[in-house]
Chain A
Amino acid sequence: MYHLATVLPAVRRLRFPITRDQAMLLMLALNELLLGVETFLAHSISGTIMPKEWIPIIFGPTAGMCLFLAGVLAIRKRSLATVIATVIYLASIVVGLLGIYFHLVRAVLPYAPLGERVSIPLFVWAPPILGPLTFALVGLMGISAVWMEQPTDSGILTLFGGRRLRMPFSKTSAFFFMVSLGSLATVISSVLDHARTNFENPWLWLPTGIGIFGTVVALVLGTLTTPRKSDLVIYMVAMVLLVLVGMMGVVLHILNNLAQENAIVVERFLRGAPFLAPMLFSDMGALGLVILLDPREKDESEGKVDEIQPSDNLGDKRN
Chain B
Amino acid sequence: MDQPSKPLSSLRVLIIGLIAVVVVLGVAIIILVIGNAGQPVNLEKVDVLAGSTDECVTCHRTATPGIVDQLSHSTMAAAEVTCRDCHEVTVGYPGAVEHEGSYVLAAPTTAKCQKCHEAEVAQFYQSRHSLPAYVAVAGSKDLSPTLMAMYQSIPEGTFAPDKARNAIAVLEGPQITPFACENCHSIGIPAADESVGRCQKCHIRHEFSLEQARKPETCNNCHIGPDHPQWEIYQESAHGILYATMGSTWNWDAEAGNLTVTDFPAPTCALCHMSGFGTNGTTHDVGDRLSWYLFASISQQRPNWEDNRSHMQSVCFECHNKNFITSMYTGADAATQQVNAWVQASNDLVAPLQKQGLVNTANFDEPLDFTYFNLWHYWGRTTKFGTWMQGPDYTQWHGAYPLQQTLAELTQMVNAKLQAAGETP
Residues of A at the B interface (CB closer than 8 Å) are: 45-48, 50, 105-106, 109-113, 116, 119-125, 156, 161-169, 177, 180-181, 184-185, 187-188, 191-192, 194-199, 208, 212, 215-216, 219, 222-223, 257, 259-261, 263, 265-268, 270-272, 307-308, 317-319
Contact = CB atoms under 8 A, between A and B. Distances in A.
4 closest cross-chain pairs (CB), A and B: A198-B38, A271-B257, A47-B119, A267-B281
B5 to A, nearest CB: 5
A112 B72 CA distance: 9
B45 to A, nearest CB: 8
Given A47-B120, A271-B256, A271-B257, A121 B36 contact: yes
Contact of A219 (B10, B20, B115, B278): B20
Contact of B9 (A168, A266, A308, A319): A168
B46 interface: yes
A263 B256 CA distance: 18
A164 B4 contact: yes
B60 to A, nearest CB: 14
B27 A112 contact: no
Given A195-B38, A260-B278, A162 B52 contact: no
Interface string B1-26: 11111111111100110011011001
Contacts of A119: 41
A272 B47 CA distance: 30
A166 B33 contact: no
B150 interface: no
Given A106-B80, A164-B2, A191 B34 contact: yes
A64 B290 CA distance: 46
Given A112-B47, A166-B5, A191 B119 contact: no
Contacts of A124: 33, 36-37, 39, 41
27 contacts: A47-B117, A105-B80, A109-B46, A111-B50, A111-B52, A113-B46, A121-B39, A121-B42, A124-B39, A162-B2, A165-B4, A166-B7, A166-B9, A167-B8, A168-B8, A169-B15, A191-B33, A196-B255, A197-B38, A199-B37, A215-B23, A222-B19, A223-B16, A263-B279, A265-B281, A272-B257, A318-B1
Nearest to A219: B23
Contacts of B317: 260
Q: Which of A109, A123, A181, A215 has the most CB of B within 10 A?
A: A109
Contacts of A272: 257-258
A175 B117 CA distance: 43
B23 A165 contact: no
A259 B20 CA distance: 43
A48 B119 CA distance: 7
A111 B48 contact: yes
Contacts of A125: 41
Given A196-B38, A199-B38, 7 more contacts: A48-B119, A50-B116, A121-B41, A163-B2, A194-B37, A259-B278, A267-B282
Contacts of A208: 30, 34
B23 to A, nearest CB: 6
Given A112-B46, A169-B15, A195 B8 contact: no
B41 A122 contact: yes
Given A112-B48, A319-B1, A181 B19 contact: yes
A224 to B, nearest CB: 11
B57 to A, nearest CB: 8
